Amino acid sequence: MESTTRQPRSGQRPRRRWFVGVVVILAIASLSSPPALHAQDATEAPETPDVVVPGTGEDTEEIVDEASPETLPDAEPTAETADPAAADETDAVEPVDDPESSSSGVVIQVSATDTGHPAVLAHGLAFLTGDQSVWQVREVEPAGSFDAESTVSNAAFVLQVAGTSVIRNDVTGKRALLSPGEVYFKSGGDAYTTFDDSGDSIVWIFEVVEPDVVAEDAFYESPLIGDYEEGVFDLQIIRFVLEPGETATLPDHTGPALVLSTDGDVDIEADDLGLLGTGDGQLVTVDATVTNNSSNPATFMMTAFGSEVGDVTASPDPGDAATSDDPAASDAAAVDSPSLEDDTTADDATTADETTTEDTTVDSGEDSGGVSETSINITALSELYVVIVADGVTVFDGPIPEGGQSGVIVGSSFDVYTSYGADTLFTNACGDEYYMGYEEGEAQYTLTSNANSCPP
């Protein structure tokens, strides 16, 4: 596989490419890599979405695994047993199928006792469409508090290279402070704002995108990828630190993985030999090893997809609990399910250091039958197909272009079908915007008004 050469723009740092065969080491400024810790606020928001990316955002809030600093003693070999009878008994055990299993495929096995001391710095769920895509890595200098802008992207990792940054999820209001070496997982489809907290902040952003939307400031662009299958997968970023002369074997993964040096020179041995300097990357599609043949420690990152995750653990249908035979389950659904009964939206979520939002409850309007009425309006963040049934009558059935709206629809109960839940933005009669769910695909929602709902 060969990469396509792009001419760097004037004043722009040229993008690096992965190498087949031995190449000349580029002299590049080193990136310091202190022990990484993923700083992340706890979240009380519902699951954030997988993003539809060509090769890869349903996701839960940011998930972090930290490598243990302790080195465990080597385990004794277990391939053979001294008791033949025990071996026969073990062989006789039949595997048990688990129909409720939510994951399948490749699980990335990482142990801090392996050579290179690998550590999963961050991971989350991302949706792969199966379309052709590329990995890109960008170097960004976040703006200050007054100039920073909110952006929406695919599922991505933000590596803090220098200084400190504050990243805010603009959907939940949750924030995280990043120091050098730390990584933050951005859920696909959510809006985020990144602030320069120290005055000298620099971050690298790892992301899978469509080939024709590679960012102008991307310093690395991978060859074209057509091997990703459609589905929701666990996306991980793993840090390896190699001492001089050490070799690390890369763990199994789903589809091509990106290996990128963040500090120092490393050699990759796969189908061919590749030599990476700081900031250089290479796609790995087969079993591979990485060696530090230099006289200084080297650090590299591996971003890869692991196990596929089924929809058993996806956002529950609000109607499921309501129709349960268990009264307690119905009560829980009434409290936890998003509906028009609660005028506080996801955008009103607060953290411990922020004040609560203003109460927006007003007297409701009533129709001739004494039933409270309100209204909804749907805005499509991408092209959607939407069906809205208000009080048992289908009032909207058709496509909505990106940025378009269904228009205000009045009623006391609403059944809404959308072709893509994560891009379906609701506005209630109070003017509040919110999401009913973050499904990466089709979704069905039921909304009802009560005496506290805003009148239409």
Tens of pLDDT, residue by residue over 54-97, are 554 444 444 444 443 343 344 444 444 445 444 444 444 444 44
The rounded distance, in Å, linking the Cα atoms of 234 and 254 is 9
Long-range Cβ contacts of 384-387 (<8 Å, 24+ apart)? 384/418, 384/419, 384/420, 384/423, 384/424, 385/418, 385/419, 386/416, 386/417, 386/418, 386/419, 386/424, 387/416, 387/417
393 pLDDT more than 80: yes
Report how far Cα 180 is from the mean position of its chain's Cα atoms: 21
- Judged against a pLDDT cut of 50, whether residue 333 lies above it is answered with no
Average pLDDT over residues 383-393: 91
pLDDT in tens, 203-230: 999 999 999 999 999 999 999 999 898 9
Percent of the chain scoring above 90 in pLDDT? 46
CA distance 267 to 325: 61
100-114 pLDDT, tens digit per residue, is 444 456 778 777 777
Instruction: Return phi, psi of residue 346, to 5°.
Output: -60, -30
Burial class (CB in 10 A: 0-12, 13-18, 19+), 315: middle
Topology of domain 52-67+102-311 in CATH is Jelly Rolls (2.60.120)
At 41-50, the pLDDT tens digits run 434 444 444 4
> Taking Cα atoms as reference points, which of 301, 252, 295, 298 lies closest to residue 281?
301
Q: Which residues does residue 143 pair with via DSSP β-bridges, in sequence order?
A: 195
Q: How many CB atoms lie within 10 A of CB 434?
A: 18
Q: Which residues contact 153 (CB under 8 A, 6 or more apart)?
A: 51, 186, 188, 192, 205, 207
Query: Residue 186 and residue 40: Cα distance in Å, rounded?
Result: 11
134 or 24: which leads in pLDDT: 134
pLDDT at 130: 87
Convert the pLDDT of each residue in 315-328 to its tens digit.
665 544 444 444 44
Task: Supply the pLDDT for residue 323.
Answer: 41
The residue that leads in pLDDT, 346 or 211, is 211
Who's near 320: CB < 8 A, 6+ residues apart?
333
Cβ burial, residue 334 (10 Å; 0-12/13-18/19+): middle
Asked whether the CA dihedral 171, 174, 176, 182 is positive or negative, the reply is negative
Q: How far apart are CA 296 and CA 302, in angstroms?
A: 20
Extents of the domains making up the chain: 52-67+102-311, 315-448
Q: Which two tokens stand for residue 220?
A: 């690395």
Q: What is the mean pLDDT of the chain?
A: 74
For β-strands 218-221 and 165-169, DSSP reports them as unpaired
What is the H or E stretch that residue 402 is in?
none
**β strands within 56-106, DSSP E:** 103-105
Find the mean pLDDT for residues 416-441. Answer: 91
Q: What is the pLDDT of residue 291?
A: 95
pLDDT confidence of residue 372: 81
Mean pLDDT of 146-171: 93
Residues 6+ apart with CB under 8 A from 128: 53, 55, 56, 228, 229, 230, 231, 232, 233, 255, 305
- SS3 label, residue 185: strand
| Structure tokens, 139 | 């170097």
- pLDDT score of 350 more than 50: no
141: left (phi over 0), alpha (psi -120 to 50) or beta: beta
